[in-house]
Amino acid sequence: MIQKILIANRGEIALRIVRACRELGIKTLAVYSEADVQSLHVQLADEAICIGGPRSSDSYLRTDRIISAAEIADVDAIHPGYGFLSENAKFAEQCESCNIKFIGPKSKTISMMGDKAVAKSTVLKAGVPTVPGSDGPVASETEAVKIARKIGYPVIIKAVAGGGGRGMRIAHNDVSFGKEYHSARNEAEKAFGNGDVYIEKYIANPRHIEFQILADSHGKTLHLGERDCSVQRRHQKLVEESPSPFLTPDLRKKMGKAAIRAATAAGYENAGTIEFLVDSKGKFYFIEMNTRIQVEHPVTEEVTGVDLIKEQIRIANGEKLDFDQSDIKFKRHAIECRINAEDPARNFIPSPGTIGLYYAPGGHGVRVDSHAYSGYQIPTHYDSMIGKLICYGRDRKTALERSYRALSEYIIRGIKTTIPLHKAIMSDPVFIEGKATTGYMEEFMNRMP
């Protein structure tokens, strides 16, 4: 039985995990960097250990120090959250060899699905449609051009180790291909230490629709419906919602089944996400699997009533999922806005600093997952997300109106945030009509005065 968990993360997700553990009666150990001494998760966890300097490479990515902290504090399991070490197969393997449960899938599943080209071929064999493209990574520019011509422009060049929208470039013809190919490779090499890329057909204005998976260690794999994450800037999600205004019950059923087939083909265990692109005709294509809990998981929680973090811990504990696919009902509509410390009026430049006054919205159907508070100093070393606002209600109209109302109540003084942008999106006719595709944000920003 898991009795104490080390949380190998920071910010809102660390706090989210502390909260789940409290309710399960599990003790928590926070590890933190020198920049996060004042962080809420450090104050709310049962124990805390400083593991190094402000830079992630000196703290949150130091597997040796994290494992030592786990041993000193005698924890049974490590929850990696998202980002940092959450999809690091070597770290999961180290945990396994130290007899500490890594709350996530097996290390070999992480490495298999972490290589996007391998992931594609694995699910394709299981009959899940993938975006047409190269068969694995391309060996040279000459081979890559040949493939691009064969599938037809435009194409997208993607890093096999990619994540966070990095290492991705679009090419419209032979002339631009060479340049984009080399920049994708360089960016991938810098970001992931692996410059391998593969080629895919570039789907025009698709929707990004992903399915939440839960799989226990006894062979039961379920899906908890979809999240529509089409509102993106530079391939990074800004707004997520469930159910998708685009999916028909029939398409949801087909995609849900395909998602379960993909997870099963990967031998998946714990919580994970199968990501698809869907074109305007409703044709869907697998793009990748995320082998961790995602930022946008609360959307699914508010629609289904399932606490995904608790389920992750129960699964890691060897317990069986105590519900079936037919028990999962999509009872509500939920929308999440990512609140980033960025200035949307100035090309989203980061806006770190000290929050003067912080007042979070509340009331019926409003959930705020945030580590921010009045007087909180946002460190410059990490990503700019300072919170998530999740609003839900009986239908999409209610969730939209509630989101706008809650955003109007939110007070964060002293820094710039994406709140004004979210208010504009929530009151934009194109978004309200449910017509946003991945091309939406660019078109919306061009329309803005």
Which residues are identified as catalytic? 292
DSSP letter assigned to residue 177: H
Of residues 259, 242, 203, the one with CA closest to residue 434: 242
| Tokens encoding 237 | 């999600």
Nearer to ligand ADP among residue 203 and residue 315 (C-beta)? 203
Of residues 164, 256, 277, the one with CA closest to residue 214: 256
CB of 280 to ligand ADP, least distance (A): 12
Nearer to ligand ADP among residue 108 and residue 201 (C-beta)? 201
Nearer to ligand ADP among residue 156 and residue 328 (C-beta)? 156
Residue ranges in 29-140 assigned as alpha helix (H): 40-44, 63-72, 89-97, 107-114, 116-125
CB of 244 to ligand ADP, least distance (A): 13
CB of 190 to ligand ADP, least distance (A): 14
Nearer to ligand ADP among residue 117 and residue 131 (C-beta)? 131
Of residues 180, 148, 253, the one with CA closest to residue 211: 253
* Whole-number Å distance between alpha carbons of 445 and 134: 33
| Tokens encoding 260 | 């379960």
Of residues 370, 201, 222, the one with CA closest to residue 304: 222
Contact 181, 141 (CB under 8 A): yes
DSSP letter assigned to residue 83: S
* Whole-number Å distance between alpha carbons of 431 and 437: 9
CB of 158 to ligand ADP, least distance (A): 6
Distance separating the N- and C-terminal Cα atoms of the chain: 57
CB of 344 to ligand ADP, least distance (A): 19
Contact 337, 103 (CB under 8 A): no
Nearer to ligand ADP among residue 167 and residue 365 (C-beta)? 167
What's the alpha-carbon Rg for the chain, to the nearest Å?
A: 21
Nearer to ligand ADP among residue 285 and residue 358 (C-beta)? 285
CB of 348 to ligand ADP, least distance (A): 17
Nearer to ligand ADP among residue 45 and residue 266 (C-beta)? 266
Distances (CA, A) of 261 to 77, 320, 369: 28, 19, 32
HEC readout, 405-423: HHHHHCEECCCCCCHHHHH
Contact 288, 228 (CB under 8 A): no
What torsion, rounded to 10 degrees, do the Cα atoms 161, 229, 210, 318 define?
80
* Binding footprint of ligand ADP on the chain (CB under 6 A): 131, 156, 162-165, 200-203, 206, 208, 232, 235, 275, 277, 287-288, 438
* Whole-number Å distance between alpha carbons of 350 and 359: 21
Distances (CA, A) of 393 to 249, 311, 334, 432: 19, 23, 7, 15
CB of 239 to ligand ADP, least distance (A): 13
Contact 147, 138 (CB under 8 A): yes
Nearer to ligand ADP among residue 161 and residue 355 (C-beta)? 161
Nearer to ligand ADP among residue 156 and residue 407 (C-beta)? 156
Residue type, 306: V
CB of 162 to ligand ADP, least distance (A): 4
CB of 225 to ligand ADP, least distance (A): 18
Contact 438, 205 (CB under 8 A): yes
Sign of CA dihedral 247, 405, 347, 58: negative
